[in-house]
């Protein structure tokens, strides 16, 4: 039986190492850039009616106008976002993927809070 061994190299880096601060600085800038790109591509829709249960019956409250943000999640947009972030990436691609996941998490949490506060809940 033939066994193939893979050599894995790992070493510790002191936290005060210059490489760590450069990575963190790049990550924060890339994250802000990703959030800006997502923000610029948000589609805003309007909601004009709200259904309310009064006395066991559903009624609509007229005059409620709220902007609803739709965050772009399609494959084409995410691919363009990744390509844009890869342009200035001195690190491996998984760092850009991490930035994109974090940016989407931030934007989705912002959207939930925006809608909750806007609807008075």
Residue 14 in contact with residue 57, Cβ under 8 Å? no
For every one of its 121 residues, what pLDDT tens digit does the chain have, with 9 covering 90 and above? 677 767 767 777 787 888 889 999 999 999 999 999 999 999 999 877 667 777 877 776 666 677 889 999 999 999 999 999 999 899 999 999 999 999 999 999 999 998 887 655 5
Q: Give pLDDT, residue 99.
A: 97
Q: Give pLDDT, residue 47.
A: 77
Q: Give pLDDT, residue 49.
A: 66
Which residue ranges make up each domain of the chain? 18-43+71-118
> What is the residue-wise DSSP string for 69-111?
EE----HHHHHHHHHHHHTT--S-HHHHHHHHHHHHHHHHHHH
What is the rounded CA–CA span in Å between residue 85 and residue 28? Answer: 12
Q: Give pLDDT, residue 115.
A: 84
**pTM for the whole thing?**
0.75
């Amino acid at each position: 039986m033939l066994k193939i061994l893979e050599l894995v190299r790992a070493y510790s880096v002191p936290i005060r190492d210059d490489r760590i601060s450069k990575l963190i600085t790049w990550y924060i800038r890339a994250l802000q850039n990703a959030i800006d790109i997502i923000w610029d591509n948000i589609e805003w829709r309007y909601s004009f009616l709200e259904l309310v249960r009064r006395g066991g019956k559903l009624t609509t409250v007229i005059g409620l106008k709220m902007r609803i943000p739709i965050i772009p999640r399609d494959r084409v947009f995410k691919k363009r976002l990744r390509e844009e972030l890869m342009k200035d990436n001195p690190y491996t691609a998984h760092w850009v993927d991490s930035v994109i996941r974090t940016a989407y998490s931030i934007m989705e949490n912002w959207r939930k809070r925006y809608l909750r506060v806007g609807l008075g809940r």
